[in-house]
């Protein structure tokens, strides 16, 4: 049994501050090679996601790592002690041309490893983002087999990998709800196609995109439902499941940050691997980062069997609740989309991303509502002083209280109050009042905040000097936006204070 990495570093560009090894905020595709090495060697992380989805990518990654850091990878071999995991494009949403290149990269990496005298195969896993059906996993598995066969026929190179280990990434709460059925069908396919029964599966649950598409509370509850469904699958099949959760630093995107490790371990009990995105690694001191990584690395394996299991009735209640809250949330976001896009356009891009839109845009029936991806979406609303955690959450909590679901939510989300307090520190009440004067749809958020405060018995608003400075910067952003002046510097300073771009 290979070791399951408790921490996966990713290339998500949510950092506000420069990296410690280049002193630049922007990380080029070439610099990601060094970043990968430093995550292993400096930070004690044992898995790095190499992202082919929505961005430019250095396709010579294996050769560069082996040549530039030869001695390190001789001692700490890829594919055995450290792991490089590709996130491949979802060809049902993004262009198909990068998928065969990614698969060829995985296959030919074996040859490179043998040539340089390294462990082989160095690559054997791939994450499929936005997985929505078993047919997608089957197609990828069959495509990989065809490419491997063609490589053997044309170049006389026989790959060790008979099939690739796919990690489905579920990103919408509706898909998360049917994840167990997808996994069961996938295992049946592996048995019939390859006469293979996996010893284990790794499955990934997103925290950012469910929040972007359905709101803060549905995203939190979807993660709880996912971990319960994975445990059910493991119990029914005897196949071990090692779940991954993909989240960022701010509560809306998961609340996974170095100052929050105790809460993270409780919040994500049952998950085997956490993603550590750019803000986690670069917006805190290196001492804070390495200390937090050690704590999470030690704590996560102990939490494997601490997840709360849900009954069928509880799952049905969560799904019903999430559908209702999603409607409330989307009705707001669709109206706020123009100003969100306006502000997000001024936020910096810290990776070499290609043009791409978030799931919210894809999920709209007529395609009229387009939004930035989760990081810039979250960053735009924080820049306006209206943290997205607050949108539709008052009505959601009211609904939960009226339906009798609030005790279940509080049991599943033990740090719910702390999350709202954290986000609420960056709320700018004056900006919301001004926005409501310009567009009456914002008035409902004023009522939302009153409901959150009343139901949870907390106070939303800044209470420390740095929160006040953040508030002042968001006021600058609002007025400069009105005057059509550049506010990018204010937005960047605000993101440094909250320790994440979005």
CA pair distance 438, 187, nearest whole angstrom: 54
- The H or E element that residue 165 is part of is strand 165-170
pLDDT higher than threshold 90 for residue 361: no
Q: Which of 375, 465, 379, 478 is nearest to 425 (CA)?
A: 465
CA pair distance 14, 500, nearest whole angstrom: 6
* Span 305-355, pLDDT tens digits: 888 999 999 999 999 999 999 999 999 999 999 999 999 999 999 887 765
How many angstroms separate the Cα of 117 from the Cα of each of 59, 67, 111, 113? 20, 11, 10, 6
* Span 405-440, pLDDT tens digits: 999 999 999 999 999 999 999 999 999 999 999 999
* Span 265-293, pLDDT tens digits: 999 999 999 999 999 999 999 999 999 99
Helices (H), 345-428: 359-363, 374-383, 393-403, 406-412, 416-424
* Span 197-245, pLDDT tens digits: 999 999 999 999 999 999 999 999 999 999 999 999 999 999 999 999 9
CA pair distance 242, 363, nearest whole angstrom: 29
* Mean of per-residue pLDDT scores for the chain: 94
* 409 Cβ contact partners less than 8 Å away, ≥ 6 residues apart: 217, 221, 400, 416
CA pair distance 452, 66, nearest whole angstrom: 53
| 334 CB neighbour count, 10 Å cutoff | 15
pLDDT higher than threshold 80 for residue 54: no
Q: What is the pLDDT of residue 354?
A: 62
Look-up of token digits 């026929």:
153
Categorize the per-residue pLDDT at 150 as very low, low, confident or very high, splitting at 50, 70 and 90.
confident
């Amino acid at each position: 049994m290979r070791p399951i990495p408790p921490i996966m570093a990713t290339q998500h560009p949510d950092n506000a501050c420069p990296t410690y090894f280049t002193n630049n905020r922007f990380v080029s595709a070439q610099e990601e090679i060094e970043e990968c090495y430093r995550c292993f060697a400096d930070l004690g992380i044992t898995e790095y996601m190499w992202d082919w989805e929505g961005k430019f990518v250095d396709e010579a990654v294996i050769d560069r790592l082996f040549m530039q850091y030869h001695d390190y990878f001789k001692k700490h071999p890829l594919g055995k002690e450290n792991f490089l995991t590709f996130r491949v494009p979802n060809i049902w949403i993004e262009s198909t041309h990068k998928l065969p290149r990614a698969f060829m990269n995985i296959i030919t990496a074996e040859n490179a490893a043998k040539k340089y005298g390294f462990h082989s195969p160095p690559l054997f896993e791939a994450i499929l983002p936005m997985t929505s059906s078993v047919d997608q996993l089957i197609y990828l598995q069959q495509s990989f087999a065809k490419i491997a066969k063609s490589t053997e026929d044309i170049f006389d190179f026989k790959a060790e990998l008979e099939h690739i280990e796919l990690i489905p990434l579920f990103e919408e709460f509706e898909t998360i709800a049917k994840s167990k059925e997808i996994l069961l069908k996938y295992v049946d396919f592996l048995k019939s196609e390859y006469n293979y029964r996996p010893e284990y599966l790794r499955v990934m649950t997103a925290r950012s995109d469910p929040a972007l598409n359905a709101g803060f509370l549905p995203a939190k509850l979807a993660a709880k439902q996912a971990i319960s469904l994975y445990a059910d699958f493991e119990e029914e099949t005897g196949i071990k499941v090692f779940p991954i959760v993909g989240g960022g630093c701010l509560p809306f995107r998961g609340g996974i940050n170095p100052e929050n490790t105790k809460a993270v371990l409780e919040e994500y009990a049952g998950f085997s691997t956490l993603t550590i995105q750019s803000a986690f690694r670069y917006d805190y001191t290196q001492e804070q980062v390495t200390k937090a990584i050690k704590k999470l690395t030690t704590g996560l394996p102990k939490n494997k069997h601490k997840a709360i299991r849900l009954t069928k009735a509880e799952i049905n209640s969560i799904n019903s609740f999430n559908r209702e809250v999603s409607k409330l949330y989307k009705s707001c976001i669709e109206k706020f989309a123009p100003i969100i896009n306006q502000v997000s356009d001024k936020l910096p891009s810290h990776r070499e991303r290609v043009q791409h839109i978030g799931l919210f845009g894809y999920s709209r029936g007529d395609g009229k509502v387009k939004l930035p991806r989760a990081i810039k979406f979250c960053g735009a609303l924080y820049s306006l002083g209206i943290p997205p955690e607050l949108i539709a959450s008052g009505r959601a909590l009211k609904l939960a209280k009226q339906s009798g679901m609030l005790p279940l939510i509080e049991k599943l989300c033990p740090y719910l109050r702390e999350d709202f307090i954290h986000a609420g520190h960056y709320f700018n009440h004056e900006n919301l009042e001004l926005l409501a004067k310009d567009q009456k749809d914002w008035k409902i958020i004023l009522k939302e905040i009153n409901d959150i405060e009343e139901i949870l018995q907390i106070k939303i608003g800044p209470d420390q000097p740095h929160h006040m400075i953040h508030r002042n910067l968001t006021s600058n952003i609002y007025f400069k936006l009105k005057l059509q002046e550049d506010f990018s510097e204010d937005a960047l300073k605000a993101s440094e204070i909250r320790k994440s771009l979005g």
